[in-house]
Amino acid sequence: MNKLGIIGGGNMAESLIGGLLASGHKASAVQVSEPDKNRREQLSTKYGINCLDNNSTLAGQSDLLLFAVKPQLLRQVAEPLKQAVQAKHPLIISIAAGIRSSDLDLWLGGGLAIVRVMPNTPALVRAGASGLYANHLVNNLQRDLAESVLRSVGITVWLENEAQMDIVTALSGSGPAYIFRVIEAMEEAATQAGLERETSRLLAIETVLGAARLAIESNDSPAELRFKVTSPGGTTEKGLQQLELGNIEQMFANAINAAMNRSREMGDELGAGT
Ligand SMILES: NC(=O)c1ccc[n+]([C@@H]2O[C@H](COP(=O)([O-])OP(=O)(O)OC[C@H]3O[C@@H](n4cnc5c(N)ncnc54)[C@H](OP(=O)(O)O)[C@@H]3O)[C@@H](O)[C@H]2O)c1
């Protein structure tokens, strides 16, 4: 049985642990290292997993080693693990935003199979969408292993090259926040128009959820679905005209390009000095 070691027992780690156990993985196959004692106790009690306070010990016992610390900390967490990682050569998985696989490989001593992942926060409710990139040392079995970990919290998509990770970061990584903003705006407008705030919020959220489900379950494209609900001269047409006047296409292009450029910049800043 492959042993998964997770470094950093925060929010993303917890959603992965929850997803893995719910999809049939054994608690005995998952370990976490985490500096905060209370957090270790919390995770052990809730999930029945072993939690350690030493990253090197964890690295020495893991076939898959998943880094789930903040990107700013990744270098200082990774470098001291060089010896343990080089002795064991586990499959490395990193969910740290912005950090390129070549930088992580260098910090860990080089020559490692690395899968870099960009998950998103709906992973917390197992409705995540993750982009995965494998470096040239990752074999098919390791690809399947990495995919099975991320599949436990949502859908996965493999990327052909690592540069695409910046686009995924801007689309599905930052995307939930764009949609939260859309929900806020819909709620506010309906409340201003006279609905109770709670009612506006519920209807806005359920509308986004329902539209997303319809889009995923239907054979029609989102554009075809839109045409189908837009009767000539009707209410939807009038509403959509306003979104077009506000140049919704350009607005999202600007948002995605700005997030993508920031993702690239972060890769340069956080990988600097390697
Ligand atoms: N949240 C998202 O939407 C999202 C999306 C995509 C990618 N990610 C990536 O996922 C990673 C984790 O994010 P998160 O939201 O789960 O962060 P988080 O909740 O802050 O979790 C990070 C954990 O790492 C622990 N930690 C700190 N220093 C450590 C060390 N030296 N050794 C071991 N563990 C250490 C922290 O413990 P303390 O709290 O005690 O310091 C904390 O429990 C980040 O790299 C982020 O870029 C997150």
150 C-alpha to ligand 1 centroid (Å) = 16
Same domain, yes or no: 25 and 153: yes
Average pLDDT, the chain: 95
pLDDT at 82: 97
Does 159 score more than 70 pLDDT? Answer: yes
Same domain, yes or no: 143 and 190: no
33 C-alpha to ligand 1 centroid (Å) = 11
* Residue of 6, 12, 107, 132 best suited for mutating to test ligand 1, as the one with most atoms within 8 Å of CB: 12
| Residue bearing tokens 């001269």 | 233
Same domain, yes or no: 118 and 219: no
Does 273 score more than 60 pLDDT? Answer: no
| DSSP result, 134-148 | E-TT--HHHHHHHHH
Same domain, yes or no: 155 and 190: no
Domain span at residue 81 reads 4-165
Domain edge (last residue) among 165, 194, 221: 165
Q: Using one digit for the tens of pLDDT, what is the confidence trace for 162-181?
A: 999 999 999 999 999 999 99
Q: Residue 73 class from Cβ within 10 Å (0-12 exposed, 13-18 middle, 19+ buried)?
A: middle
The single-letter DSSP state of residue 90 is: P
Domain edge (last residue) among 139, 165, 191: 165
66 C-alpha to ligand 1 centroid (Å) = 11
Q: Residue 15 class from Cβ within 10 Å (0-12 exposed, 13-18 middle, 19+ buried)?
A: buried
Same domain, yes or no: 79 and 190: no
Whether 233 is covered by a domain: the verdict is yes
Same domain, yes or no: 95 and 181: no
Number of domains the chain contains: 2
Which residue lies with its CA nearest to atom 5 of ligand 1? Answer: 120
Does 274 score more than 70 pLDDT? Answer: no
| Residue bearing tokens 């905060």 | 36
Which residue lies with its CA nearest to atom 40 of ligand 1? Answer: 36
Cα–Cα distance, 72 to 8 (Å, whole number) = 13
Does 5 score more than 90 pLDDT? Answer: yes
Q: Using one digit for the tens of pLDDT, what is the confidence trace for 15-34?
A: 999 999 998 899 999 999 99
Band of pLDDT at residue 224, cut at 50, 70 and 90: very high
Copy the structure tokens of residue 66: 């998943």
Whether 85 is covered by a domain: the verdict is yes
Please tell me whether the overall predicted TM-score, pTM, comes out greater than 0.95 for this model: no
Which residue lies with its CA nearest to atom 31 of ligand 1? Answer: 77
Mean pLDDT of 73-85: 96
Whether 268 is covered by a domain: the verdict is no
pLDDT at 105: 97
| Residue bearing tokens 């990682």 | 85
Domain edge (last residue) among 127, 145, 165: 165
- Poorest-pLDDT segment among 121-125, 174-178, 189-193: 121-125
Copy the structure tokens of residue 262: 């920031």
Helix axes 37-47, 11-22, angle to 10 degrees: 20
68 C-alpha to ligand 1 centroid (Å) = 5
Band of pLDDT at residue 271, cut at 50, 70 and 90: confident
Amino acid at 274: T
8 C-alpha to ligand 1 centroid (Å) = 6
Apex 62 CA angle, 73 and 91, nearest 5: 75
162 C-alpha to ligand 1 centroid (Å) = 22
Whether 210 is covered by a domain: the verdict is yes
Same domain, yes or no: 224 and 156: no
> Ligand 1: residues whose CB is within 6 Å?
7-13, 33-36, 39, 55, 68-71, 73, 77, 95-97, 118-121, 173
Whether 255 is covered by a domain: the verdict is yes
Percentage of the chain lying above the pLDDT 70 cut = 99
Q: For position 117, which CATH number holds?
A: 3.40.50.720
Whether 155 is covered by a domain: the verdict is yes
Same domain, yes or no: 216 and 158: no
Does 270 score more than 90 pLDDT? Answer: no
Cα–Cα distance, 81 to 74 (Å, whole number) = 11
Same domain, yes or no: 188 and 156: no
Whether 271 is covered by a domain: the verdict is no
Which residue lies with its CA nearest to atom 38 of ligand 1? Answer: 36
Tell me the backbone φ, ψ of residue 132, rounded to 5 degrees: -120, 140
Same domain, yes or no: 27 and 151: yes
